[in-house]
Amino acid sequence: MSLLCHQAQSQRIEISPPYTVESQLETTASFERFPWLLEALRGLRLIYESGRNIPGIGDLRISEQTASFVRRLLSLIAISRLPVPRITPISGGGVGLLWNVGGKEAVLTVYPNDDRFAYMLSNEADELVSDGLLTLEQQRALNSILGWLVQP
């Protein structure tokens, strides 16, 4: 091993900052490529900030942990031509995302006490055609599900 190489190794620094950071450039690029994303994040923020417990309807407060899960979920979607999803609280601290494209409907649900998200797909006749549970590690499956929405 050369001295230069040894010095390079010994001076190696930790490149990951000890705090969560998102590159501004990457964020901007994502918004340009996925025009629905900014509005979706705004919608999430709105329900996060306005959430309250309404006796007779349900507890619509969303935890930071749940909001973070939804942000990560949205960041995994790599389909540019999706419309902006409707983002709505689910009673009991959950979040629902709903897309309707030409009569086809996709619903994703996130619950505060579950590290999986559920999906339900309905066709133009309003019939359930597929449903299931996924984790955030199953990005390909997520995009396949939502890709069905925009298939001609």
Partner 1 sequence: MAIVDDATISNQTIVFRILLDGWVSIVANRIRPNSLALLDSNFENSCFISNDQSFTELQRLFPGQPVAGIPVEVLRTNGFVVERRPGECPTDYQGNPDDHVVVGPPAPCSRKIYQRGSQAIVKDTRVIMLRLVQNR
Residues that bind partner 1 (CB under 8 A): 55-58, 60, 86-94, 96, 98, 100, 103, 105, 107, 109, 111-114, 116, 118, 120, 122, 124-126, 128, 131-133
Smallest distance, Å, CB 78 to partner 1? 24
Backbone phi, psi, residue 129, to 5°: -110, -20
Smallest distance, Å, CB 47 to partner 1? 8
Smallest distance, Å, CB 91 to partner 1? 4
The pairing of beta strand 58-59 with beta strand 128-134: unpaired
Smallest distance, Å, CB 79 to partner 1? 20
How many other C-beta atoms lie within 10 A of the C-beta of residue 94?
A: 22
Smallest distance, Å, CB 104 to partner 1? 10
Given the complex with partner 1, which of 23 and 124 has the nearer CB atom? 124
Given the complex with partner 1, which of 32 and 131 has the nearer CB atom? 131
Given the complex with partner 1, which of 39 and 114 has the nearer CB atom? 114
- Give CA–CA dist 134/95, Å, rounded: 15
Q: Please name the residues in contact with 47: beta carbons below 8 A apart, sequence gap of 6 or more.
A: 60, 62, 87, 88, 89, 95
Indicate the burial class of 126 (C-beta count within 10 angstroms; 0-12, 13-18, 19 or more). exposed
Cβ atoms 36, 83 nearer than 8 A: yes
Given the complex with partner 1, which of 74 and 90 has the nearer CB atom? 90
Given the complex with partner 1, which of 31 and 148 has the nearer CB atom? 148
